[in-house]
Amino acid sequence: MISPQIIEEIKYRNDIESVVSSYVSLKRAGSNFSGSCPFHSEKTPSFVVFPATQSFYCFGCGAGGDAISFVMRAENLDYVSAIKTLAQRSGITLPDDIDNKQPQGVSRQRVLDMNIEAVKFFQECLWDERLGAEARQYLLEKRGLDRSVIKHFRIGYAPNSFGMLHDHLKKLGYTDEEMYVAFLCGKGQKGTAYDYFRNRVMFPIIDTSGNVVAFGGRVMDDSKPKYLNTSDTPAFKKSRNLFALNFAKNHCESMMILCEGYMDVIALHAAGFENAVATLGTAITSDQARIFSKYTKKVVISYDSDEAGQRAADKAFRFLQEVGIEVKILKMVGAKDPDEFIKKFGAIRFKEIIEKSKSRFDFEVEKIISKYNIEDLDDKIKASSEICQLIATFASEVEREVYFIKASKLLGIPTDSIKRDVSAIINRRAREEKRTQINEIYRATSGIGDRVNPESAAHIRASKIEEAILGLMQLHEEHFVKCATTLTPDDFITSFGKRVFQKMQELHNSSVKFDIAYFLEDFSQDEVSRITKMMTDRQMLNSNGADVLFECIESLKAEKNRNSSEDSVDSLMDLLNKKKK
């Protein structure tokens, strides 16, 4: 365990409100603060910061914890890396041996160190007269990139060899297991290590702190897949990063451009559009949409003009609008992607089409109308139905009013008729959403599908009592002391409740004041969120005194006895049945 003195000092200097407000816009709500959750998309803020307990909890997605666990989630860091980040933020000097206190496994820092060595290796291979000839020809001649652009993005080349990178990293002291975890090497059927990236132009993925967190590789021949990307590692989550954000974050206040691939982004930056970024080989995720919302209020989608690109654009529209971003889309005529468009028509023309980019409504309606002949009655009804479905997806009544008028003029249908159809669609969706919420509440209260405490479904009442006791213990130190002397781990029925109590007991025996930070080394993020919820649920209640605690303790012991009796009867019946047979 990292020294309690270090934890206490870090949390004292990193007030929860200060830490969270650098990621989330918070508003005062009584003695607490509320805002839109940074960990899931929501229209109504359900994320709450509790200064009194230095904790946070989202009533929408269930994420919870303290300042350390918040940074772990927000920055995709392990425990020790989050400690280091907060220490650096507040000017605290950490002991030199802190890395030795990490849990078993490959650390984030170790992966980052390997990635730096891999970048150097790939760059050396690219500029090697013999090894990198084909890759240089591809980048300089076929793609028309300047050497300065190649060096700016730290582009390199993975040679067509099964073991050059592996051998290089091995000489530097890295193990095969570390290379597997970092996704730089794979493992053959016989357990032999091989370079994961071979004969590919390599694009380093760099986070906003300047760390090389991953790679994307573009093949030099007809091999499949055309692009290969690093999978998730201790240093990288594909769904939480954007290519070239490390550069774009300084040029994106008014707008960002979302592209489909690495080369599109590089071509745009080379042409002066330094606010361009790309997702990493997949369609945009809700996490990436929230990243955009941290840096800008407007995004122009510049995806390929083929069918796949337009489908991806539709998804991007929805995710980005959910987080309150104004979204437009480019319509490129005469080129399939931004790279080709700029080569053909130049940067000035590209700037012009940015200024003429379309809203989601105009873009979608144009697609719908292109499918139908609205002079034909049946086609007009089909087009009208799809446009009404589209209008119903917009939350703003003002937006819908504007679109009612547009649709009415376009289709030659009275505005009131379109309004009634849209209203019916919205009401139907609301009923469906309500049914879904009721089902989710039922599943939550019955413990069905509870991944944190799967035993709760079989012991609903006991698990609720356990949570009440553990929540009370977190709220008041005197409860913590009383429970430590009146309860034992064997009084708990679920394994999760028992583990949490044992950790609290361990803290009590070490004379350490309770803090959720001490759970972060031994419990998962979801488990820490559940422990935080136990405390938050009790905070919402008026009665949290000693009488409530003792009543819960008695109830838990009664439940334990009842379960023991049932187990005894079940065992006896099993024995009788065996005798009968």
Please report the pLDDT score of residue 304 as a whole number: 75
Domain spans, the chain = 4-101, 108-234, 245-356, 371-443, 454-580
Spell out the residues 6+ positions from residue 413 whose beta carbon is closer than 8 angstroms to its own: 380, 384, 407
d(CA 354, CA 341): 12
Please report the pLDDT score of residue 523 as a whole number: 92
Torsion-angle region of residue 447: left (phi > 0), alpha (psi -120 to 50) or beta? left
Please report the pLDDT score of residue 444 as a whole number: 61
Residue-level pLDDT, tens digit, the chain, 581 residues: 578 888 889 999 999 999 999 888 899 998 899 999 988 877 788 999 999 899 999 998 899 999 999 999 888 788 888 898 999 888 888 887 666 555 556 888 899 999 999 999 999 999 999 999 999 999 999 999 999 999 999 999 999 999 999 999 999 999 999 999 999 999 887 778 999 999 999 999 999 989 999 999 999 877 788 899 999 898 898 888 999 999 999 998 889 999 988 999 999 999 999 999 999 877 788 889 888 988 999 999 998 767 777 778 888 888 888 888 899 998 888 888 899 999 999 999 999 999 999 888 998 898 899 889 989 999 999 999 999 999 998 878 898 999 999 999 999 999 999 999 999 999 998 898 888 777 766 666 555 668 889 888 888 899 999 999 999 999 888 898 888 788 999 999 999 999 999 999 888 888 888 889 999 888 999 999 999 999 999 988 888 999 999 999 999 999 888 876 655 545 555 656 766 66
Q: Which amino acid is at 313?
A: A
Spell out the residues 6+ positions from residue 234 whose beta carbon is closer than 8 angstroms to its own: 78, 105, 106, 107, 108, 110, 111, 181
What residue ranges in 151-254 does DSSP mark as E strands?
A: 156-158, 185-187, 193-195, 200-206, 212-219, 227-229
CA distances from 229 to 196, 197, 494 (A): 10, 9, 41
Q: Which amino acid is at 243?
A: F
The three-class DSSP label of residue 145 is coil
Torsion angle (degrees, nearest 10) of CA 30, 31, 37, 38 = 140
CA distances from 266 to 65, 150, 245, 255, 554 (A): 39, 9, 12, 17, 66
Fold designation for 245-356: Dna Topoisomerase Vi A Subunit; Chain: A, domain 2 (3.40.1360)
pTM of the model: 0.74
Q: Which CATH number fits domain 4-101: 3.90.580.10, 3.40.50.2300, 3.40.50.1000, 2.60.40.10?
A: 3.90.580.10
Please report the pLDDT score of residue 360 as a whole number: 86
Please report the pLDDT score of residue 568 as a whole number: 52
CATH class of 108-234: alpha beta
Please report the pLDDT score of residue 526 as a whole number: 92
Please report the pLDDT score of residue 445 as a whole number: 59
d(CA 11, CA 7): 6
Please report the pLDDT score of residue 199 as a whole number: 94
* Bridge partners for 5 per DSSP: none
Please report the pLDDT score of residue 430 as a whole number: 87
Using an 8 Å Cβ cutoff, are 277 and 248 in contact? yes
d(CA 294, CA 301): 17
Please report the pLDDT score of residue 573 as a whole number: 57
Domain 454-580 has CATH 1.10.860.10: yes
